Structure 1
Amino acid sequence: MFHSIVPPYLLEQLERSASDPSLRARFRQSLQHDAVLRARPAAGRETAAAAGGRQCKVYDADNGTDLPGTLVRAEVDDPSQDLSVNQAYDGTGATWTLYKECFGRDSIDGAGLVLTSTVHYDRGYANAFWDGAQMVFGDGDGEVFAHFTSSIDVTGHELTHGVTQYTANLAYDGQSGALNESISDVFGSLAKQYAMGQSAADADWLIGAGLFLPGVRGVALRSMKAPGTAYDDPRLGKDPQPATMSGYVDTEDDNGGVHLNSGIPNHAFYLVATELGGNAYDDAGKIWYGTLTSGNLSETATFKDFAEATQTTARDLFGDSSTQLAAVTKSWQTVGVLEDQTRLMNAAQIELQPSTPPSQPPAPSTPRE
């Protein structure tokens, strides 16, 4: 159960474009590690205390690959002198707080699971991942990526893979895999927004803002507001995410385009949240969370399945005539997942209209005397 924040196609592009042999080797090593980790079964899970509640633990791999490493900070400890340790602790804590205070969920499993993180994984490792049991952060390659602990939304994204694992358990392939990725982006962004007290209008809607080092032409790994615009750099290439179904990428790479096509449901959520206004973790977040945890999604759910499920959740929470249901419907229509019935009806009416004007009626006959 390996899920990384940086997709393999981006690391492959960086390996191809790197002119420095040592930098090329770092990206190749990151790719090789990821390939091994995808094939490795998840590590054993640490159980929570009976009382549940927030329990964050941060370990240090000391640039090795043995997990979890040496425990360096837990709930009772003062802040560390190591910035990465504190960032990992704060990010996991912020994610726990979002789920607890906004959705009533105690940790990612709903039963107080300890949130375990490991920092300083390997040397120059350019990624962060959820392995089915814990979070793992690399320090970055030093040229393109900074430390992966620096973005709360990255931590929230990876931990949300755990929430999906314990709830809908969406298959990591094709559209269900893209939904898996999108849900992680949604709640990763919400974790940052909640921690920073941002409304939907105030939020940047970026995933991984701050990961790129100076000189990289990009603002983040992904943009939910404008998929396809997060970066455009000679080393990275151009952000390939589509925002609507018209740009859907049919590919066998990246588990069927899970990091690519996630831009479509990402944009749908952004449209719902900004249409409703206020805080995205309120009504919009409750609709997405209710859908994820409803038990009504199959593991192979398509975009349309998920869109219709969010309509059902919005209807159940807010009613048939609610602005929330209208916003959900409109957003999925805008990204091309659901058909716009009004537009279809108008098109049908136009089609039924005659193409030439009717002939003139005959002149009235002269009355007989």
Structure 2
Amino acid sequence: MTSRDTHSAPAPRCTFIPPWLAERVDGPEAAARDEAVRRLRAQRGVEARAASTVAVEGVGVAPVWTVHDAGSSTRLPGTPARRSGEPDTGDVAVDEAATGIEATLQMFLEDLARSSHDGAGAPVSLTVHYGSDYNNAFWDGTQLVFGDGDGRVFERFTKPVDVLAHEFSHAVIEHTADLTYRGQSGALNESVADVFASCLKQRLLGQEAADGDWLIGEGIFMPSVQARALRDMAAPGTAYDDPEVGADPQVGHMDDYIVTTADNGGVHLNSGIPNRAFHLAALAVGGRAIEGAGRIWYDALVGGAVPRGADFGTFAAATVAAAGEHADAVRDAWRQVGVEPGRASAPAPEPQPGGRLRVERSGGFAGRSEAAEVDVEASGLGPLVSAAVWSAAAKDARPHPDMFVYTFTVEGHEPVRVPEHLLTDSQAELARQVLRPGTSEV
């Protein structure tokens, strides 16, 4: 297993290669025990679906939704622009969001018997035209939020329908397994969101798993960027390679697992591993992805066997348990990406930070990072650093999926990570002064 730190320093100061060694060896007694566990977990998945079906029947109608217009501000939710049942407005972003949420809600309702993100028909609130040239989309616990892109690298984030399905799926995850958004559980959070996003795209195109292109965010980049999409679930690390944007950094096997402090512990980077496992499972199970492997992944998510801090091995075991007659195919899919279902992988310690003052912005829907370092004394930022970095309220704050996260690191001290929505004024100002134009992408 290889570790790669995404800092821009000449070399990482500390790396760790987490062990992923011998294949699991099951004797007859262990096999019998595993089969009993598999049947129990599969039954839990069936019961969870039945409970969800009752909730849907109780609601009786599809959930309502409202698309808001933030008017290029960052005030949420903004002004209501279109509600469910209303006609097109002529605003492309508003109407794309409306079409996307209708299709997403329909897929979850019809194929998974789930009404809205909470399973009980909660109204859905969306916001478009967020910020100025804002290159991101995210779920903040209440709102699905979409920027218009900068028109140079990124198009508007409502353009690919799977981006919307991805963000809605984060809300579903929050209301089910609530996977912690860091490290392997965070990578699973990202991957499961990609899973349902790809299922929606294929559903709208009338495709079976074997026919899909497995691209996430196709069309999110401007035509001038050398890219097919933002991610490729079938071949992680191949979606783009552009002189300005750089090369797709995703990995698709545990041998290449990335150890990093950026991106909430590499949630967008390492999500390529479970993404590829799902792609392989979907092909092996066959049929429409949402009805085959997608149903299995959903049953695992709601079946009670996936804790918030689940690692890849734990989640893999839950999918095998929910797979029924396809258990062997699902198990083999995970093994092809270096994950042994049921075998826990010890979390890799993060590289120790170094340098002077380092400010890094990472995450976002694109999973890209930018960083810069300054000498605190020479820059005259000492007072601002004291006010911004050592705020107790900033530490251990829980990020929301796909929001930017800012990391402030002073030599000799642990990094302070702050989700975008929790930045104090001094932290925002420090980030602005350090991350000036020309900052390197990492």
Normalising by the smaller structure, the TM-score range is: 0.7 to 0.9
Query: Is 1:99 the equivalent of 2:113?
Result: no
- 1:127-206 alignment to 2 at 5 Å? 127-206=136-215
Aligned-partner Cα distance in 1 for 2:95–2:304: 35
Tell me the residue number matched to 1:262. 271
Q: Which amino acid aligns with 2:88?
A: P
Map 1:19-30; keep pairs closer than 5 Å: none
Aligned to 2:293: 284
2:331 corresponds to which residue? Answer: 329
Secondary structure, counterpart of 1:258 in structure 2 = helix
CA positional deviation for 1:285: 0.8
TM-score relative to the length of structure 2: 0.63
Among candidates 113, 118, 124, match of residue 109 of structure 1: 118
Q: Following the alignment from structure 2 to structure 1, what is the Cα–Cα distance between the partners of residues 60 and 73?
A: 33
Q: Is the 8 A contact 1:94 1:192 kept in 2?
A: no
TM-superposed CA distance for 1:214, in Å, is 1.0
Post-superposition shift, 1:196? 2.1
**CA distance in 2: counterparts of 1:56 and 1:73, whole angstroms:** 9
Whose relative contact order is higher, 1 or 2, with alpha carbons under 8 Å and at least 6 apart?
A: 2
The equivalences for 1:288-299 within 5 A come to 288-299=297-308
Q: Deviations over 1:235-288 (max 9, x none)?
A: 111111111111111111111110000000000000011122221111211110
Q: 1:248 aligns with which of 236, 257, 264?
A: 257
Q: Deviations over 1:292-319 (max 9, x none)?
A: 01122111101000111111111xxx3x
- Supply the RMSD in Å over aligned alpha carbons: 1.9
Aligned AA for 1:337?
A: V
State the shift of 1:56 in Å.
Answer: 1.9
AA in 2 matched with 1:265: P
Partners of 1:76 and 1:240 in 2: how far apart?
41
1:53-76 Cα shifts (integer Å, max 9, x gaps):
231211111111111111111113
Looking at structure 1, the residues matched to 333 and 85 of structure 2 have their Cα atoms a distance apart, in angstroms, of 44
Query: For residue 99 of structure 2, what is the aligned residue in structure 1?
Result: 90
Q: Which has the larger radius of gyration?
A: 1
Q: Matched residue of 2:152: which SS?
A: coil
Provide the secondary structure at the position in 1 that maps to 2:270. Answer: coil
Counterparts of 2:86 and 2:166 in 1: how far apart (Å)? 25
* Equivalent position to 1:53, from 54, 62, 80: 62
Return the structure number with greater strand share. 2
Give the letter aligned to residue 150 of structure 2: D
User: Conserved in 1, the CA contact under 8 Å of 2:62 and 2:106?
Assistant: no
Q: Distance in 1 between matches of 2:124 and 2:215?
A: 24
* AA matched with 2:183: G
Q: Distance in 2 between matches of 1:100 and 1:51?
A: 11
User: CA–CA distance in 1 between the matches of 2:59 and 2:114?
Assistant: 15
Q: Structure 1 counterpart of 2:155, which letter? A: A
Q: Give the TM-score, by structure 1 length.
A: 0.75
1:81 is matched with 90
Q: Secondary structure at the match of 2:269?
A: coil
Cα drift, residue 80 of structure 1: 1.0
* Deviation of the 1:100 alpha carbon: 0.5
Query: Which residue does 1:302 correspond to in 2?
Result: 311
Once the 2 structures are TM-superposed, how far is the Cα of residue 51 of structure 1 from its aligned partner?
Answer: 5.4
Q: How many residues align?
A: 288
The match for 1:42 is: none
Q: 1:52 Cα deviation (Å)?
A: 5.2
Post-superposition offset of 1:50: 6.4
**1:195 deviation in Å?**
2.0
Instruction: Give runs of aligned pairs for residues 189-228 of structure 1, distance below 5 A.
Output: 189-228=198-237
Counterpart CA distance in 2 for 1:187 and 1:249 is 24
Task: For 1:51 and 1:288, locate their aligned partners in 2 and report how far apart those are by CA, in whole Å.
Answer: 25
Q: Residues 186-222 of structure 1, C-alpha deviation per residue, up to 9 Å, x if partnerless?
A: 0111111112211112211111001111110111111
Contact 1:52 1:113 (C-alpha < 8 Å) held by counterparts? no
Q: Deviations over 1:305-359 (max 9, x none)?
A: 0111111111xxx3xxx2x1121011011000018xxxxxxxxxxxxxxxxxxxx
Alignment partners' CA distance in 2, 1:287 and 1:78: 36
Equivalent pair of 2:65/2:83 in contact (CA under 8 Å): yes
Partners of 1:288 and 1:176 in 2: how far apart? 15
Q: Distance in 1 between matches of 2:205 and 2:129?
A: 26
* Contact 2:67–2:80 (Cα < 8 Å) also in 1: yes
Distance 1:50 1:304 in 2: 36
Structure 1: 5+ residue runs without aligned partners?
Answer: 1-8, 13-48, 340-369
Q: Write the distance in 1 (CA, Å) between the matches of 2:285 and 2:302.
A: 22
What is the one-letter code of the residue matched to 1:139? D
Q: Is the 8 A contact 1:304 1:337 kept in 2?
A: yes
Give the SS at the match of 1:129.
strand
Structure 2 unaligned regions, length at least 5:
1-5, 9-57, 342-442
CA contact (8 A) 2:157 2:220 kept: yes
1:118 Cα deviation from its structure 2 partner = 0.8
The 8 Å contact of residues 59 and 120 in structure 2, kept in 1 or not, is answered as no
